Every structure is written in C-alpha cells, then in structure tokens.
Chains A and B, each alone.
Chain A
Amino acid sequence: MVFEVFRRERKGQPFQHAGAIDAPDERFAEIYAREQYGRRQESVALWLVPREAVNEIDEFPDEFEMKYRRVDGYSIKARLHEARERAGTLDMAPGGDAAA
C-alpha cells in the first residue's frame, strides 16, 4: 500500500507533501515515516494518508471562456496575419509571414 506523507516543519507552517512510502500496513507506514521524516527533529508533525484516500482532480471545465485574461489566450500571430492580408503587406513581414 502506498501512503503519502505530509510534514509540518514548524508550528504554524502548513503541512507540505514530503514523499511517498510503500508499506504493508499502517503500522509499518508509521515506523517508516518516523524514520524517513522525523528522526532528526526535522518535523513537528506528519500526516500519513493512504493514496486511495486521496481524491485527485485533474480536469477543469472552462466555464467562463475568459481566455483573453491569459497570456496564451490570444493568438497574436493569427490576428497579425489577418491584418497584413487586409493591408496587402504579407510579403513585407519580417521573418516571412506569407506562407502562414
């Protein structure tokens, strides 16, 4: 079984992910976590969480379509090409835009 380990370095700090441990049961996981993350007084607390208890979310609907707020939300290249076409200056573009 895989357990994820979170550690709190000092009181008041948030728990941060520190690593994973493979152990046959919770007791082994605790001993290993103490060894790997706690024997040298480097943590004030540890959380041990079985991997299967972790609910991972990795897909997000783009509900608002606010692409314009993002650095990559506008394709400047495509709009520039359209503008040059309208102006008839495609062949004068630096780097050659004619083929785009």
Chain B
Amino acid sequence: MAAVEGPASERIELGIREYDVTARKRPVDKSVTRLLEKPEDTSTTDHSELDELQGPFHSGPEVTKACLECHNKAGKQFRKNIHWTWRWHNPRTGQELGKALLVNNFCTNAAGNEGMCAQCHAGYGMTDARTYDFSNEENIDCLVCHESTGTYYKLPPTRGNKACAVMFEGKPPIDWTRVAQSVTLPGRNNCGACHFFGGGGDNVKHGDLSSVLFNPPKDVDVHMSPQGENFACIICHVGEGHKWAGSRYAPLAKDPGETKPGLPRHTATCESCHTHEPHPLGLMGLKLNDHTDRVACPTCHVPAFARGGVATKVHWDWRTAGRLRNGEGYREEGYIQGNGEPRHTYKSIKGSFKYGENLVPEYHWFNGVERYITVHDRFDPSKPVEINHLEGGPDDPNARIWPFKRMVTIQPYDKGNNTLVYMHLWGDDEDAFWGNYDFARAIRRGMADFGLPYSGEYGFIETWSYWPIVHMVAPKEDALACRDCHARQGRLKDLAGFYMPGRDYNPWVDRIGIAVVLATLLGVLGHGLLRVVLAARRR
C-alpha cells in the first residue's frame, strides 16, 4: 500500500480497500441474551462437545450441514428471513423492497453488485441474487450470526477488479471447526459485524449504529452498555424461529397494544418494555406521559446521534468520483473523528463525503409507512428526491414525531427517464465503475443487466434518505428538556400543522393583546397626567 503525500492534514492512499475493518477480529461481548442473562451458564447444550461438531470443517456449507442435522427446521425458518431473501413485500404500500432491488443513496445499488455487497448476505456465495439458489439451505451462513469467537469474517463473494485485490490480502484463515463449536445466541458482535458498518464503513449509514455499540459507555447507550443493561440486540429485537421484531422497512411507529401483564410481546418498541406511561407517577410524570401518544420515545431520549467518537456520513457527492493519481484510484483522509481515527473524505470509487458527530436529528411526523422511490419510479428532477418518503402528519392519529438522520447525496440518475439508476460497480470487466471509473458504461451496463429502460444520458440529482434514530438511548439526565422543543426556535420549529405550547402563538391575538395592555397603560397615564395638570391649574 503506497502512501503519497497530499495537501496538509490529508493522507492519500492508492488502491481500493473497502470493509477492511469487518474482517478484523471483533471484541466479543458477553451481552445479555436469554441464555446469558444469568452469571452461571444456563444453556443445556455445550456445542463444543457435540460429536457432530468435531469436524474437521473446511468450509461454511460443511458447518451449516452439520447444524441442520440437529436443527432440522432452522433452514426452512431462515429461508423466509429477509437476511436471506434480501426481498420484502410491503403489504401496506404494495412495494417490492429489499437489498436485492432498492436503490439507496450510499453505494446506490446492491443489485448487480452482489459480488461485493453480498459480503453481508447471511449466506455463502451469492454472486447474483437473480440466479442464486435460495432453496439450498446448506448455503445459509449460520456462523455469521451465531459464532462467538469474534474471529469469523466474510469476504466479498467475488474478487472484483484487480485494483480491489488489496481487500483480500493478509486475512488470517478461518478455523472452521473452532468457530462452529462456539455457536450460541447472537451477541452484539454478531449483529454489529454487518449492521454497524452498513453503507460502506463504520456508522456510515444509520448514524445510531456504530462500532461504539460493541462495548458502549453508558452515556452512549444505556441498554447496550456493559455498565448499563448490557443488552444484546436480540433482547429488544425479540423473536423465535428465526423471525424477529423490528423492521426498517415497516417500523411500528405507534405501539398500540398492551397485553396482559407478564405476557411476552414480539415487538421491538420501547413501549413493549416501558409501556406508554413510562414516566414515574407525579405531576411531571403525568405531563410527560401525555406526550407519548404524539411523540416517540427516542425523540427526547436520543438527544443526538453518532455519539461516542465514531462519525456518520451525512453528505455524499458522487460527481467527484473517478479522479485518478498516476492512473490509479486513491483515497484521502480529511476528517479525524472523536476517537482519533481518520475517515476518508474522498474516494475515487465513490466521490466526496462529509461526516458529522453528536448530530441533532431532524424530526418528522411518521406513521410507520415509508414510500420508496425504486428504480422503476419516475420523479420530478427539479427538487430533491426523497428515496423513502415518510408518511404521516399531525392529523394522523397513528403518526408520532420521530427523530431521523437525513442523508443527502448527489448521485447519478437517468436524465431522460427521470429515474434512479443501477450502476455496475463491482466486477472484473470493462464496465465496472470500481476499476474503470466511467459512469456512462457503469450505468448502461447496470440498467441493461436488469432489462431496465435507460435513455442513455445520465445526470446527477440530489437525493434524501431518512434513517430513524432509535438506538443510542442516553441516560435520563441527558434526555431533552421541555425548552428544547417548547420554544419559538426549538428543535421542532419546522414541524407545521399543529399547535405546540411555547412555540406557537396567534400573531393577531398577541398584537391585539399587547395593544389592549398598551392602550390601557397609556389611558391611565393620560388620565393621571390630566388630573395632575388640571389640579395644579386649579390651585
């Protein structure tokens, strides 16, 4: 890896290296799962002693085969799981969603780029979601979710362009037998290995899911911190039979249900543990509980996101992608985040980025319905494209005010058809953008591979995507105070359509009221003055 001197405070590296960190050994958490919530081991099975897991194993599918011999329903269960299908039908909007189809405003599309992106598919060898055998249960990757050594890692299913070869260098071999014997319920290190690195790196995508949550201090996340509740993700994202709660495509924006006391609930909402009257009894508690029908818990309890020293990407400009040095792609480090680590502000393969930390969310009414702009949908190019439009407003009883990260990106689109485009980014061929740096070819190929109409002319459009901010719940002392919203210039100053005390007023009532008071004041002053003057004259 050649390091080249760049402008002051910037370091420039040649070559393409993505997701380097995910293949490093991760800190393994002993987080609270159903099996590990007590100090003594309550599991009834020690997998390391099972004959079936003595191996030796030499590949993932071999391990999976062994798993399925005992867990003979797990394969059928998991085949319905979105981590496997990468597709999801939203019954509320009728839209076909999922990584296999959607265009986002980060690397834009996994479709056609599975050779790279399926590094985070919970299966082995998905090089193309259209031809992948989703019925072959032996290709399910049990280990990525269940191993507990922290040494297991996934690499892109294909090698990509030769410039990407550095990504595959120097990885320690996986000890398949050892990781197979280590299986247990998923800890933060399992879920986090992919979800903390979505969008191209640590905390790039969500803003509230970063590597800090592997082992967060209590002030970053009261639930996941070992000094707090030490929860694994699955304590809230609860479920059974490889089906669990909490969907980014169809969040439960207002938890309506209370079950009878003691009955388990399969929702990932705050309310499912805390109820919708969580604040302690008292005047203040009553008033705060008054809020829960219209204000989601994280609105006050996640005062800022990207906390704990890891930044999130907030702006991405694809237009600058493709600059070369010595004929090669390169990367610039131009941002030092809170924990001292540098972040890339430019990559030839992706363009320019801006980062942020400790960011105040945007707030929107949201009823849980997101309407996506898919690659098939036409839009009006005169204004920014909302990739996932949030539905709901103050007059919708199912909507509440939720906090969001808004990602802003300038990305390629089909100028003739006014649609988003698939780009062919990954591949060892003449068209792959990551290696050849030619938008025209990458888009033409990306669209053609899926038989999508393409006008042949591309432009750049500003896109927005909204990411609900729900993790990184702060200690209650750090929750928002009333004045943060109940003020004329507070956090909710841009939310229209409802009356909020402290923020709103009727300007005419104020004008009339002030006029009445001033007129009264002037009236009595005039009256008094006249009395004094006339009394003096009488004397």
Whether chains A and B associate is no
